[in-house]
A = this chain, B = another copy of it.
Amino acid sequence: MAGNLVVGQAGGATAVINASLAGVVEQAQRSGRFSTVWGMRRGAEGALAGDYIDLSRVAPAQLPAVAATPGAILGSSRHKLDDEEAESVLADLIRRDVRAFLYIGGNDSADTVHRLAQLAAARGYDLSAIAVPKTIDNDIPETDHCPGYGSIARYVANATLDSAQDTESMPTMYPVKFIEVMGRDAGWVAASAGLAAPDPTSPPHLIYMPEFPLSRQDVLADVERVYREHGYVVAVVAETVRDETGTPFADPGVSAEVDAFGHPLLRGTADTLVRLVQAELGLRARFDKPGSLQRMSSRFVSPIDRAEAEEVGRAAVRLALNEMTDCMVSIIRATDEPYTSATSYVPLANVANRQRLVPEEYVTADRRGVSEAFRRFALPLLGAGALPHYVHLRDLVPA
């Protein structure tokens, strides 16, 4: 393969999206098969504007620092190319003799890659258009899991453990705690809170995932039951959780907004539940909303996740060198103990604009917790030393 390679980053930044970029640049430089490795600024926005930067100039010795830096170093965006824009981008790629277009992103970015691949094929232009999976939502189908998920799961499990220590410390003052986490339509991030519990009686007592709608009365009954049983309540709630009519719990005054992809921009789910519990049960409640910290904390990066994020970047370059196109790198779990994985690829038609939700087998019968099957799936992704061990008074001074 001659010509040039373009790589870009799209969608919400994560703690390991730069690791995938480092993997791409490393493998592309090492292959010696590309004249120039171009970085696209701000995802599709940069492609439209012809805003590229020469990453061939990046010294290999700097790549480990890139891989360790959270955020999208090239800049990211949620802009989705329409047909006309895709035509314009392709024409520019052809002018620049770009033969490999690698795009690190989630479901929506996969659609952009798919569109470019099909358009290039229709024009008879040899372009390897490859999607590199990345999303904390873990909702891309046809891959065991998504780079970014292991690190946010590590963050959320730790945050749940820490926040529960707080609530357990002051049950008479603030007995109810909600922790609001991300996840769009899927409950994978919320589910990872369940990894904090060493046994079924430990917090989190309740996990609310968007896959399983629930009424306000359900929440009140849950909180009251757990409070009676444990004296305090730690509940983890996906920001997109909905009631039985499909209406988000989030403040409707805000949820009417949508992002550039038409996804509702939700805020205030935990805030809404705090007010509900205080008003209806008379229990003082508080919430933590780590927001972007949950997907950006370099201190909670899973070493497994970072290594896989780099590897899917390298694998994308190898696919391009083999002149593959219209596909996404996927991760295959090779062995469970010890956990090992390998990369493969799947056609983008199977991936673009589809979502993988949390299946019933990964939750408990009451849909308020996670199953052993989920723990077997998710725990290895957090990497070694993921969770600290805390002591309790009952361990120190047995009754």
Residues of A within 8 A of B (CB): 9, 12-13, 39, 42, 45, 53-55, 57-59, 62, 65-66, 68-78, 158-159, 162-163, 165-173, 177, 254, 259-260, 267-268, 271, 274-275, 286-293, 295-300, 388-393, 395-397
Contact = CB atoms under 8 A, between A and B. Distances in A.
A84 B122 CA distance: 87
Contacts of A299: 158, 299-300, 388
Report copies per complex. Answer: 2
Contact of A388 (B59, B177, B260, B298): B298
Nearest to A11: B170
Most chain-B Cβ atoms within 10 A of its Cβ — which of A12, A42, A57, A288?
A: A288
Contact of A166 (B71, B170, B171, B274): B71
A172 B58 contact: no
Contacts of A167: 292
Contacts of A171: 75
Given A39-B393, A42-B170, 8 more contacts: A45-B172, A58-B397, A65-B389, A75-B171, A166-B292, A173-B259, A271-B271, A288-B291
A180 to B, nearest CB: 9
A165 B69 contact: yes
Contact of A293 (B75, B159, B168, B395): B159
Contacts of A292: 162-163, 166-167, 177, 286, 288
B290 A54 contact: no
A390 B170 contact: no
B75 A169 contact: yes
Most chain-B Cβ atoms within 10 A of its Cβ — which of A9, A75, A158, A293?
A: A293
Contacts of A62: 391, 395-396
A54 B397 contact: yes
Given A68-B388, A296-B163, A393-B53, A76 B288 contact: no
A55 B336 CA distance: 43
Contacts of A165: 13, 69-71, 296
A168 B296 CA distance: 12
A397 B74 CA distance: 11
Contacts of A393: 39, 53, 73-75
Given A65-B389, A271-B267, A397-B58, A288 B290 contact: yes
A170 B53 contact: no
B293 A288 contact: yes
A29 to B, nearest CB: 13
Nearest to A42: B172
Contacts of A69: 165, 390-391
A46 to B, nearest CB: 10
Given A286-B292, A291-B289, A292-B163, A77 B397 contact: no
A292 B170 CA distance: 12
A76 B170 contact: yes
